Chain A
């Protein structure tokens, strides 16, 4: 089924999540949709699958306008979506899920017929699914297979897959890709949403890159491949494709490094034989020594383990192996409180979820930081400190303003204002995400002032300009590997793009 999206707009409050997005997916193709978190790709596919209603714009299927207002509408038009976290019924069995999601609703269930259909579809795609297994006992990959089979049984002509390769095994991935190629050959259209470059390159016929709510580029991959659909690439072609896609994602030119030298000789943070492990990643850093006053930028596609790394350095997670020293003290496997006492501070990206407490005011946050000095809150001191923070950090709010009423930029300023005063290691995710240029400059002024006082900063960002401008050294996370640190002055857009694509 040919899918056309024309001039789609969607606002969430002040955020223009989809800004005049147009996209055409030909029948019989696999179309990759690439972009960082917040680029608007999820919003776009949720509009197509009816989970979100668009503000304006048109959807046409096989050339005819489609009126999609709900997921049920989308299913009737033959659009099926596989969500990143499967939307199924874990307490039911596979076959019960298969029947529960069926569009045909006879008065009585015909379990035997359903099972026949189920087995036939599974064998078509070499899915080895036990119809009577409980879904809660299946792996993510198997639940995905179940969803695909269910959507196909409902006559889906278009499949949308949101980050389908997250959390599935290599063999399941091969099976999935084979199934998708086969479906494309049958004339179905596939939309493959991902931020994993290598998957998109392996599978897709076309790629559309989104950034900040807009389509910033499209690339037809077929001419680069030696033969049509097969996943085999001539090495130089693949290199060229990676470069072009990274260029589209991050822009061609990099800003110039502007950071003054602030590092001192003393090593403040050192990691040795450091192994990070999550359910889908394992990464290793042989040795990393960060000096006082130094800024380390962490680049890489989102979800490559940057957050796990920062949280492990902050003591919120424990490394699977290896040691971490702060200021010469061994903090390996020590409780989070010891990290706080050693002058380690972590500023999360999702401020209202992980960093600030909705419902409490700025002054109450300040008081919370003073907590531990006596029993009774020193209101006068807290008020004075809050006023001082608001003045120095230029926060647009009053001491009694609840933090959720502040704008994103002012929330970030509040987070910065709450940082404890002598600080050895500061770990940050997206320190300036959602901030305007002026605020960004200002935030970095404050951070560099901290560096001058001897704080080492490690920050992850998807803004490569920010990384090059403000880092002394850069490390890159890609596909479960971590690059050795490289001086920011030695980086070019090209070399950094290659590293993000996995070449180092």
Chain B
């Protein structure tokens, strides 16, 4: 058996010790489902009708499916980016701010090329959109590297650095919306003046889903899977995340590795932000990130940082988000129920993993 068992661990209660690890995971999942059902019952509905309503709300018609895909695309980008930071041992809560700053940067470029009222410019619309996406990525990188520099050189926890920069990014967005970039006439929370339709990203039919965003999300995910599985860079990242000191002693340039993780995550998040501008809202709004960064954190935690499972989980979460929008209309329930479900699933998945690690029967070494 395992002779290196940590001496500090308390002795487990004999009753629940030594079961196979999968037992705890599945058990936790079942308990989270039961809790979800209970919450639905308490709020006065039947779980079956709620599920039915959500499914029809997410996949009932082309519009709804389009909305699921429109949510999925930036979510894939954010989740893929977070795989790098999580594997480097970083809780990059600053991903929200990186989305927002990417969106700001993209808006800035488009406003520069097409000042209000202008329909023609040096750069034709498709190229302007492409440039906006690139500049959005650069903006996200800047915001990510700022958090990274605060963490690596300033020794500030990346959690606090990220949260602080989230507030800063939102503050900048609101300032721009109400100040320099305000709508002619009246400034409002609904955002800046929408761009001319020529600057909108093309969609599948009349839905909200854009092929470009979906393609970028899938590409980011595939690249991430390849990098994490097959490259020295990914291996070094995991080494740094699991034991920074030993990795350094073994010759891994730890600081550069950490900053690279912030760089890539910022890049993907910034692109997601730019896509929110050119593909979804067609302007800058205060909540341009739509909390997709936080949702991405949940997705990556649920898949235990392994990018292979991101696609199905992110799809499921997107469907939950979109499907729940139907609830107030069909059943008179709060649409925030989807958040409760997502939160419970992740919490219990983490709990199951923790219990499996603490009490689960160890495989023969």
Give residues 353-389 of A contacting B (CB, 8 Å): 353-360, 364-365, 367-377, 379
> Which one of A354, A358, A401 contacts B242 once the chains associate, using CB atoms below 8 Å?
A358
Q: Is the CB of B232 within 8 A of A375?
A: yes
Q: Is A337 engaged at the interface, CB distance under 8 Å to the other chain?
A: yes
Q: Is the CB of A405 within 8 A of B365?
A: yes
Q: Is A352 engaged at the interface, CB distance under 8 Å to the other chain?
A: yes
Q: Is the CB of B4 within 8 A of A368?
A: no
- Report B-chain residues with C-beta under 8 Å of the C-beta of A374: 232
Q: Is the CB of B231 within 8 A of A357?
A: no
Q: Is the CB of A358 within 8 A of B243?
A: yes
Q: How far, in whole Å, are A360 and B246 apart by their CA atoms in the complex?
A: 12
Q: Is A13 engaged at the interface, CB distance under 8 Å to the other chain?
A: yes
- Report B-chain residues with C-beta under 8 Å of the C-beta of A372: 232
Q: Is the CB of B3 within 8 A of A376?
A: no
Q: Is A14 engaged at the interface, CB distance under 8 Å to the other chain?
A: yes
Q: How far, in whole Å, are A371 and B250 apart by their CA atoms in the complex?
A: 10
Q: Is B204 engaged at the interface, CB distance under 8 Å to the other chain?
A: no
Q: How far, in whole Å, are A375 and B365 apart by their CA atoms in the complex?
A: 32
Q: How far, in whole Å, are A13 and B11 apart by their CA atoms in the complex?
A: 11
Interface centre among B5, B7, B236, B246 (most CB of A within 10 A): B246
Give residues 231-272 of B contacting A (CB, 8 Å): 231-233, 235-236, 238-239, 242-243, 245-253
> Which one of A316, A357, A369, A406 contacts B243 once the chains associate, using CB atoms below 8 Å?
A357
- The digit string for A395-410, where 1 denotes a CB below 8 A from any CB of B, is 0010001001111100
Q: Is the CB of B231 within 8 A of A337?
A: no
Q: Is the CB of B233 within 8 A of A375?
A: yes
User: Which chain B residue shows the least CB distance to A335?
Assistant: B253
Q: Is B230 engaged at the interface, CB distance under 8 Å to the other chain?
A: yes
Q: Given that A407-B4, A408-B3 are contacting pairs, would A336 and B248 also be in contact in the complex, using a CB cutoff of 8 Å? A: yes
> Which one of B3, B7, B232, B250 contacts A418 once the chains associate, using CB atoms below 8 Å?
B250
Q: Is the CB of B242 within 8 A of A359?
A: yes
Q: Is the CB of A367 within 8 A of B250?
A: no
CB distance from A240 to the nearest CB of B (A): 38
- Report B-chain residues with C-beta under 8 Å of the C-beta of A406: 4, 365
CB distance from A171 to the nearest CB of B (A): 33
Q: How far, in whole Å, are A12 and B10 apart by their CA atoms in the complex?
A: 11
Q: Is the CB of A368 within 8 A of B236?
A: yes
Q: Given that A13-B5, A340-B251, A354-B249 are contacting pairs, would A401 and B365 also be in contact in the complex, using a CB cutoff of 8 Å? A: yes
- Report A-chain residues with C-beta under 8 Å of the C-beta of B249: 316, 346, 348, 354-355
Q: How far, in whole Å, are A257 and B239 apart by their CA atoms in the complex?
A: 40
CB distance from A426 to the nearest CB of B (A): 13
- Report B-chain residues with C-beta under 8 Å of the C-beta of A365: 250
Q: How far, in whole Å, are A113 and B251 apart by their CA atoms in the complex?
A: 58
Q: Given that A353-B245, A358-B242 are contacting pairs, would A12 and B232 also be in contact in the complex, using a CB cutoff of 8 Å? A: no
- Report B-chain residues with C-beta under 8 Å of the C-beta of A360: 235, 238-239, 242
> Which one of B5, B250, B253 contacts A368 once the chains associate, using CB atoms below 8 Å?
B250
Q: How far, in whole Å, are A365 and B252 apart by their CA atoms in the complex?
A: 11
CB distance from A373 to the nearest CB of B (A): 8
- Report B-chain residues with C-beta under 8 Å of the C-beta of A289: none
Q: Is A120 engaged at the interface, CB distance under 8 Å to the other chain?
A: no
Q: Is the CB of A371 within 8 A of B232?
A: yes
Q: Is the CB of A408 within 8 A of B4?
A: yes
Q: How far, in whole Å, are A360 and B239 apart by their CA atoms in the complex?
A: 7
- Report B-chain residues with C-beta under 8 Å of the C-beta of A359: 238, 242
Q: How far, in whole Å, are A375 and B235 apart by their CA atoms in the complex?
A: 11
User: Which chain B residue shows the least CB distance to A409?
Assistant: B3
Q: How far, in whole Å, are A288 and B2 apart by their CA atoms in the complex?
A: 43
> Which one of B246, B252, B253, B365 contacts A355 once the chains associate, using CB atoms below 8 Å?
B246
Q: How far, in whole Å, are A352 and B231 apart by their CA atoms in the complex?
A: 24
Q: Is A441 engaged at the interface, CB distance under 8 Å to the other chain?
A: no
- Report B-chain residues with C-beta under 8 Å of the C-beta of A376: 230-232
Q: Is the CB of A357 within 8 A of B247?
A: yes
Q: Is the CB of A404 within 8 A of B4?
A: yes
Give residues 28-75 of A contacting B (CB, 8 Å): none
Q: Is A15 engaged at the interface, CB distance under 8 Å to the other chain?
A: yes
- Report A-chain residues with C-beta under 8 Å of the C-beta of B253: 337
Q: Given that A406-B4, A408-B3 are contacting pairs, would A354 and B246 also be in contact in the complex, using a CB cutoff of 8 Å? A: yes
Q: Is the CB of B3 within 8 A of A13?
A: yes
CB distance from B229 to the nearest CB of A (A): 9
Q: Given that A377-B231, A401-B365 are contacting pairs, would A371 and B252 also be in contact in the complex, using a CB cutoff of 8 Å? A: yes
Q: Is the CB of B245 within 8 A of A354?
A: yes
Q: How far, in whole Å, are A376 and B228 apart by their CA atoms in the complex?
A: 10
> Which one of B2, B5, B246, B251 contacts A357 once the chains associate, using CB atoms below 8 Å?
B246
- Report B-chain residues with C-beta under 8 Å of the C-beta of A371: 232, 235-236, 251-252
CB distance from B248 to the nearest CB of A (A): 7
- Report A-chain residues with C-beta under 8 Å of the C-beta of B246: 353-357
Q: How far, in whole Å, are A316 and B246 apart by their CA atoms in the complex?
A: 12
Q: Is the CB of B251 within 8 A of A337?
A: yes
CB distance from A161 to the nearest CB of B (A): 23
CB distance from B234 to the nearest CB of A (A): 8
- Report B-chain residues with C-beta under 8 Å of the C-beta of A352: 4
- Report B-chain residues with C-beta under 8 Å of the C-beta of A379: 230
CB distance from B68 to the nearest CB of A (A): 35
Given contacts A371-B236, A408-B4, 6 further A-B contacts (CB under 8 A): A358-B242, A368-B247, A371-B235, A373-B232, A377-B235, A405-B365
CB within 8 Å of A: which residues of B?
2-5, 7, 230-233, 235-236, 238-239, 242-243, 245-253, 365
A-B pairs with beta carbons under 8 Å apart, 14 shown = A340-B251, A353-B246, A354-B245, A356-B243, A357-B247, A357-B250, A364-B238, A368-B232, A368-B235, A371-B232, A373-B232, A376-B231, A377-B232, A379-B230
8 smallest A-B Cβ distances: which pairs? A12-B7, A405-B365, A371-B232, A357-B243, A359-B242, A14-B3, A13-B5, A357-B242
